Structure 1
Amino acid sequence: MTFEEALKLVEEKASVYWGTYRVENLVNDLQETYAPKIKMPQKIMLVFMEMKFNYQVDFEFFWKLMGDCVATDYLRENYKEEEIMTAWLHPELVEVKE
């Protein structure tokens, strides 16, 4: 669903009877499409966040510095580069998976 489709849907369906449940579903659909959660094992996430926040390096330096690291190998094998960049830019989207 695009943002235009969502706005059209809200305009068509919006009323006092539409209810917050449907609006929440709409927002959740948009989140899944445009900002999905990125699930990582806790150990990998901790290394990732350590580099981002404690060392405050940029993404390219992170990639070079972590070239032979197990965490980076895991990231490269399990995620698209766009997902990793999204996690770097929006760490609030990163979620621990079991």
Structure 2
Amino acid sequence: MLPHAVSVAVECPEEPYDGNLQPGDVELRFRVRGPFDSDGVDVVIEIRSKWFESRAANRQDRVDGLCRAVAEATGLNDIGIYLSLPVAAWVQS
């Protein structure tokens, strides 16, 4: 559910989502809460996606919708979503 929901959250005219995820489209990394982490939320999802004006214009709506989708899918109440849109380039062979 998460790769699809993230893809929906960041789709834009410059990078449309066709529903057909390929290797490298979404990367998931999980880590255990460490001794220096705070106990504020059940899960934190950090998204890094290339900056496009159309994507950045409504970034708060994007994370709000993703947060609702994750809450519905997991039943968790304390979810943090961080969307970072750096100016970047990417290539994958």
Settle same-fold status: TM greater than 0.5: no
* Greater fraction helix: 1
TM-score normalized with structure 1 length = 0.29
* Greater fraction strand: 2
Higher Rg of the two aligned structures: 1
